Structure 1
Amino acid sequence: MSEVLLSARGLRLAFGGVKAADGIDLDVRHGEFLAIIGPNGAGKTTFINMTTGYLRPQAGRIEFEGKPILGLSPRAIVRRGIGRSFQLPQLFTEHTVLENAALAIAARRGIWSPLAPLLRPRWRDEAMDLLDRFGLRAVAEARADALNEGARKLADIAMAVALEPSLLLMDEPTSGVAAAEKMAIVETLVRVLRSTGVTAVFVEHDMDVVARFADRVAVWSQGRIAALGPPAEVLADPAVRRDVIGIAADA
């Protein structure tokens, strides 16, 4: 099997005069945790949206497992094995956490019939096992809108994992989460994803999280990749420290 799971070449997309993607070339390797960092408006979420079918680039190509995916719908891309979570958790807030997990499992199996009981015993057991892995068993019967932000983020990502992706793209998984909770939440995510062999790409603004958990870091700047490499190398780059982290080069 090729080391490369996802390959993007020459991606270009402009909104008026703003270049959200200006020749993006990136390979995502099997099994890695790749962090994407950069200032707001640099094109980070645009890349995720192009990869998952929510936006189509004006030029370039994206291949997943050696096959082109541009032009496929978001649902078709999920079926190919690419999942995503959003900056704002996409949960059915009027339902319990357990029901949300069961809905994701039903979606994976292509079962949408109103005649099929949502929480049949087999599905309930599978949903509870999923929530267990994310440390959410204690809130399984709580409504999604009653959760704190950290638990909402975990539940949102648990639903994406229920679809059994090979690649998961996460848009700011720690945004809005209390500082004291961030590391524990990312530790849970990394543990679950590594145990199931899921490759992950995540947009992140917390450099402590990036330094601790990323295998590689890609720096976005004005629709381009300005730097790419191991965290220790990239985060020590004077230009990255000045333009992304906000630390003077001589600090």
Structure 2
Amino acid sequence: MSAAVHGGPQDRGANRPRQATPLLSARGLRLAFGGVKAADGIDLDVMPGEFLAIIGPNGAGKTTFINMSTGYLKPQDGTITYDGQPIIGLSPRAIVRRGIGRSFQLPQLFTEHTVLENAALAIAAHAGIWSPFTPLLRRGYHDQAMALLDRFGLGPVAQSRADALNEGARKLADIAMAVALQPRLVLMDEPTSGVAAAEKMGIVETLVRVLRDTGVTAVFVEHDMDVVARFADRVAVWSQGRIAALGPPQQVLNDPAVLRDVIGIEASPPSGAGH
């Protein structure tokens, strides 16, 4: 697979400041599970304000990279710095406190609580309160939580239990919980996984709008190439624990090797890739 241009992010956010210093920087990451190389010399910079998509076949190491960047896995070799400081060896909670949020492929919500209560718990956690009861008794947390949910279009389901939501709303709620912790960087593992095709674009439009409005940088693993073509500033292609291509979506998604090996077609690119 040929490597695309390793350049800076395409500026799709007109008001986003350009900075030369990466917010997150990985160098020489290596991690193997038995004979399987989940990371085989990963070098990647995530620039402030960008939306970086990670694509690749199942088992290529995409989620492994997110897990290493958020403290759930420790690489056997290499470094990860956030805002210029090393973060390998820190716990997931300590990394959250540094300013890195994370959403999961399967939403991590308190299903027995309402959406509003979930948001209140996340806001309280940012304030250092981890009690499962205190946030639910304070009006201030409820008010902040309601404002957060309104930004994500979740106000109408605020009083619904989390387990009553459809998959699209659950995904938005999970990302809202990450944003409640006021991160500068959010890593999202397949934010449209399991979401009905008719809902995908609207959901991603909502989360992109909220994250851009609040100046949050985002890295997201995604399998829907139309979503990638429309919303990513840059695309990193994972293959067997390595980055096989990196560059603007219109270039990467028109690479014949990417089309063949990742997207699974021989010629036509995704509908938005040439825009």
TM range (shorter): over 0.9
- 3-state SS, counterpart of residue 118 of structure 1: helix
Does residue 165 of structure 1 match 2:175? no
| Residues 13 and 22 in structure 1, CA contact (< 8 A), matched pair in contact too | yes
Q: Which residue matches 1:50? A: 68
Does residue 125 of structure 2 align to residue 107 of structure 1?
yes
Alignment CA distance shift 1:250-1:145 (3 Å): closer
Q: Could you list the runs of 5+ residues in structure 1 that have no partner in the other structure? A: none
Compute the displacement of 1:81 (Å): 0.3
Whether 1:4 and 2:25 are equivalent positions in the alignment is no
Q: Deviations over 1:98-132 (max 9, x none)?
A: 00000000110011346735242211110000000
Runs of 5+ unmatched residues, structure 2: 1-18, 270-275
Name the aligned partner's letter for residue 208 of structure 2. V
Find the partner of 2:86 among 68, 85, 98: 68
Query: What is the deviation of 1:250?
Result: 8.1
Distance 1:122 1:59, change over 3 A: same
The letter for the 2-side match of 1:128 is: M
2-side partners of 1:140 and 1:94: how far apart?
13
Q: Distance in 1 between matches of 2:253 and 2:199?
A: 23
Matches within 5 A, 1:140-179: 140-179=158-197
Is residue 2:265 matched to residue 1:247? yes
Quick check: 1:123 aligned with 2:159? no
Moved over 2 A (4+): 112-117
Find 2:241's aligned residue among 223, 226, 233: 223
Q: Which residue of 1 aligns with 2:109?
A: 91
Identity, % of aligned pairs?
84
| Aligned amino acid, residue 139 of structure 1 | V
Which residue, 191, 200, 203 being the options, matches 2:218? 200
User: CA deviation digits over 1:3-54, x for unaligned, max 9?
Assistant: 3100000000000000000000000000000000000000000000000000
User: Partner letter of residue 206 of structure 1?
Assistant: D
Asked if the contact 1:7/1:26 (under 8 Å) is kept, the reply is yes
Output the CA distance in 2 between the equivalents of 1:117 and 1:180: 35
SS in 1 for 2:204: helix
Q: Output the CA distance in 2 between the equivalents of 1:16 and 1:55.
A: 15
Structure 2-normalised TM-score? 0.89
| Partners of 1:70 and 1:150 in 2: CA distance | 32
Alignment coverage as a number of residue pairs: 251
Answer whether contact 2:121 2:132 (CA < 8 A) is retained: no
